[in-house]
Structure 1
Amino acid sequence: MALDRRTVLAAIAAETADRAGPMPVWLVEVAANAKTKAERDFVATELISLRQAQLIDCHRQNGASGVSLTEAGRAELRELNQSKRQPSAFHGEPISAPSYLHFDTSSLHSDTGSPQSPPMPDALGERQVKAAPPPDSGPLPDLERLDPDLQPRLYALMMQLGQVLVEDLALATEARDLRRAKRLDDLARRVLRHTRRPS
């Protein structure tokens, strides 16, 4: 997962929401899921940048120190979350299934209505079909939709799970494991419904 300013701000917001006070600076790397040295270095430089921009406060009390978001930091996070929700490859437009998951079912029945066996394609990608509607269609009640402003930690967790889901979907697609790709695609659509804001 690529780290950016929004990820660091969301990590601080999520951790401080669970605490009565600021979070330790060393915990920001963990909360932002920075695994490599480059990612940890990015978090360190981003913390300096956030402090200079007065988006975070540094606190020292009783020998302990920590950071928390300022009001400007919370506003910046809301703005970044809004801009991230604009239509993109994952958010906004529905995920379209790869072309080899689609095939034309009209050739399965003859004029008399009795089933025929379809011609076997030379390659899996030759079949064409209309995509089935998502399993859960229709508007969701507000109680079933995650709000990143009210539940930042849960929302961040769902975004990380969504990232893993999309990566697994890509691997299943490359391996041409159609059953797994379809299952992951359906799950991705359901996760997207619960994390996307209503239009």
Structure 2
Amino acid sequence: MTDTTRKPRGRRPGRADTRATIRRAALTLFSNVGYDKVSLRAIAREADVDPALIHHYFTSKSDLFAQTVLDLPLDPEQVVTHVLDGPREQIGARAVASFLAVYDSPEGGRDRFTAMLRSAVAADIVHRPLSEFMSKEVFGPIAEQLGHRDHRLRGQLAVSLVLGMALSRYILKLPALEAAPDAELVGSMGRAMQEILVEPW
């Protein structure tokens, strides 16, 4: 989405609904355009607010997405740091465990992720903001910080692994996958994730 210059209007003090207006505008654009092609300036135009107001309420586009679409206190930078902070041979397992922790969070992550998964596999949905967000803000940066030049491909493969598992476990409800404890999934999927994110090809 192309940004155009807009005359600054300044902040709107006292507008209790400004944050909600920004969230509604962001949700509309993320749903209709996808994650990658939406800019904070475009969201400001949609919400009819000064772009500085977005930074007043949200630290970044990823923060706005997490609080608007996922509606979870999810900081992708913290997730990336956590996954990379520890033995290299356990990065894959930590990545899978981190995904499961967010998915099963007390704030209702499972319901929101599942709803987005159902939308993502609908035949008439072209843009998939959840998978774009996870690839660009979580798994891609992990692979990039590990020094892989093909980090975008590795990030998307990692997303396909965890979202494929979530789709099979929570929507298709494959019996063995439903019954498997998280620790077993972390062990088995962690090995596959290790190959995707860490090992040289």
Give TM class, smaller chain: under 0.3
Q: TM-score, normalised by structure 1?
A: 0.27
**Bigger helix share:** 2
Higher strand share: 1
